[in-house]
Structure 1
């Protein structure tokens, strides 16, 4: 993988964790770097980025500040999404809210313009990018 792309991936992860960048800014930077999708595992504290040619890059992030709830609630995830979109919370608050809603991770498809949040038992909730569905 090109060193410039790797640098973008690491900076997006770091900037998210430090709350210096918004989700739309992350998506724009990753799309410009050629990333088609990424997967964030909140429990392990890592994000894996995928390029169309099969190349991947795993970046360590901060592990979850609290254990995820046992039961997944799509309404809780949706509430966290709406709160961060409205600017009522930032990234760390978002992660805490989705953990309380039983979310253990998500996959973002940049090409598919959606994020799929999932819980321990495989329950999931899909959020389309604004204007995508």
Structure 2
């Protein structure tokens, strides 16, 4: 992987994780770096970024110490998404809210313009990017 691409991805991950970037800002940087999708894995405490050249970079990220429930609360996940979209919450709080709602992680699909959120028992919520 190009060292500059790696630096952009790692910086974007760090800045998102501390709440510095909004979701659209992070997406813009990642798309520009060539990322086509990424998987935030709450249980593994990492985010893996996939590039169109079949390259991947996994970035470890400490997650909040929240016991993720067995049940998936779709309404809770959607509420957290809406709060993030309105910039009422940033990523650190988004993590806490989605984890508390039973989400174990999500995949962002840049070209498809949607995010797939997962629960422990295979539950799935698909959220399309807001219209620009």
Same fold (TM over 0.5): yes
What's the TM-score, normalizing by structure 1?
A: 0.95
Per the alignment, residue 16 of structure 1 pairs with 16
What does residue range 1-133 of structure 1 map to in structure 2 within 5 Å?
1-131=1-131
What's the TM-score, normalizing by structure 2?
A: 0.95
Q: Which moved more, 1:4-13 or 1:83-92?
A: 83-92
| TM-superposed deviation, 1:63 | 2.5
Length, aligned pairs only: 132
| TM-superposed deviation, 1:42 | 1.1
| TM-superposed deviation, 1:91 | 1.2
| TM-superposed deviation, 1:65 | 2.2
Q: Which moved more, 1:64-73 or 1:110-119?
A: 64-73
**Unmatched tracts of structure 1, length 5 or more:** none
Q: In structure 2, how many angstroms separate the alpha carbons of the residues matched to 1:88 and 1:9?
A: 24
Deviations 1:35-78 (A, max 9, x none): 10000011221000001111000000112321111100111100
User: Which segments of structure 1 move beyond 4 Å, counting only runs of 4 or more?
Assistant: none
**Unmatched tracts of structure 2, length 5 or more:** none
What root-mean-square deviation, in Å, do the aligned CA atoms of Structure 1 and Structure 2 show? 1.1
